[in-house]
Amino acid sequence: MSKILVTGGAGYIGSHTIVDLIEKGFEVISLDNYGNSDKEVFDRIKKITGKTVHNYCVDLTNLHAVDMVFQENTDLVGIIHFAALKSVEESTRMPLLYFKNNITGLLNLLECTKKYAVKNFIFSSSCSVYGNINTLPVTEATPFGAAESPYARTKQMGEQILQDFTSNNKQINIIALRYFNPAGAHKSAIIGESPTNKASNLVPVITEVAIGKRTSMTVFGSDYDTRDGSCVRDYIHVMDLADAHTKGLEYLLKETNKANFEVFNLGSGEGATVLEAIHAFEKANQLKLNYTIGPRRAGDVIAVYSDNTNASKSLNWQPRRNIEQIMKTAWEWEKARS
């Protein structure tokens, strides 16, 4: 079996991707320091897959510790890099922390990728690289706008670092997957989104309100130039996203890539407002949510949704789950973990 390193393997997208990789025949090791995750996730992954995944509790900003992981795993054929701080709001308060963690971690990982000649690398990027968009849907050719948060800037910088890196390391193939708003949970309800820090993404906030962990939630902004005044986002089921990472890896392993640095949008191709997402949850689960309308939040872009044509053609990938399925699986997970 081909051995893959997943950084941030105990995290939300990382754990679901590990399940998908194992189910498709890959051997997986993980690197996660549990900064915003829980080691129990690996027990849950074993319950789903029957496989034990070894995790190295290592901070990516510690180059020596990262190098030791590579020394012990010289047979790696690919890396999927998720590990990063990801809260837009937190990044506006602590920008230096985000630059140190996200950029230094990437640089250290690339140092080891080059040193140990790992040929295939997938980078977890984000639609936040586009900033506020004048033309929708977003394609990969859409130029970067001004970063609306330090988090978004780390993703812009990360992609630029990778592009420069590959221009001088032709033997390494890298794709950056720019995904939009991951949500939902595995159909088993054994794993799902469960940050140890306070949830800030919309869907876990919704489910926490629904189950009573929060008394209410706030919709940030009612005066945006959108259908109902709330922000528009492109919600993609986490298992569709996991499938795209596995397909991206297979794309590189088969050497069917067109260049040694490529980018792909991963989204549903449709936009939903925050209020529409709330109503989709209510419809899917026959529940009413307690929410209020508040002022705009720093760092939020007005509207963004994807054109996923390139991923469809090159990676043979299509999202298979709609927003109501996202909300249904997210709710089943919330009930199971509570």
Query: What band does 281 get if pLDDT is binned at 50, 70 and 90?
Result: very high
**Inter-residue contact 81 to 122 (CB < 8 Å):** yes
Q: Which two tokens stand for residue 244?
A: 């795209």
**Res 197 pLDDT > 90:** no
Per the structure block, which two tokens stand in for 133?
Answer: 């968009």
Mean of the pLDDT values across residues 260-282?
96
Would the pLDDT of 218 be above 80? yes
Asked whether the predicted pLDDT for residue 117 surpasses 90, the reply is: yes
How far apart, in whole angstroms, are the C-alpha atoms of residue 102 and residue 120?
20
Res. 79 pLDDT band, cuts 50 70 90: very high
Q: Which of 58-72, 179-193, 296-310 has the lowest mean pLDDT?
A: 296-310
pLDDT at 190: 97
Angle (nearest 5°) at CA 125 between 124 and 128: 150
- Whole-number percent of the chain with pLDDT over 90: 90
The number of C-alpha atoms within 13 Å of 334 and in the hemisphere containing its C-beta is: 23
Q: How confident is the model at residue 50 (pLDDT cuts 50, 70, 90)?
A: very high
Give ∠ CA 232-233-236 in degrees, rounded to 5: 155
Query: pLDDT band at residue 299, thresholds of 50, 70 and 90?
Result: confident
- Mean pLDDT along residues 1-27: 97
Residue 293: which H helix or E strand, with range?
Answer: strand 291-294
Residue 75 has pLDDT above 80, yes or no: yes
Give the mean pLDDT of 139-163. Answer: 96
- 196, pLDDT greater than 80: no
pLDDT given for residue 226 in this prediction: 94
Q: What is the pLDDT of residue 194?
A: 81
Model confidence band, residue 201 (pLDDT cutoffs 50, 70, 90): confident
> What does the angle CA 94 – CA 129 – CA 206 come to, to the nearest 5 degrees?
70
How many whole angstroms separate alpha carbon 199 and alpha carbon 205? 6
Q: Confidence class of residue 32 from pLDDT cuts 50, 70 and 90?
A: very high
What are the residue ranges of helices labelled H in 116-186?
150-167
Q: What is the pLDDT of residue 105?
A: 98
Q: What is the Cα Rg of the chain in Å?
A: 19
**Average of pLDDT values for 73-101?**
96
pTM here is: 0.94
Among 3.40.50.510, 3.40.190.10, 3.40.50.720, 3.90.1150.200, name the CATH number for the domain at 3-183+235-268.
3.40.50.720
Model confidence at 5: pLDDT above 90? yes
Residues with active-site annotation: 151
Residue 88 has pLDDT above 90, yes or no: no
Predicted pLDDT of residue 199: 79
User: Whole-number mean pLDDT of the chain?
Assistant: 95
Kindly tell me if the per-residue pLDDT of 72 is higher than 80.
yes
Residue 134: the pLDDT is 83
Asked if 47 contacts 23 with a C-beta cutoff of 8 angstroms, the reply is: no
The β-bridge relationship of strands 217-220 and 3-7 is: unpaired
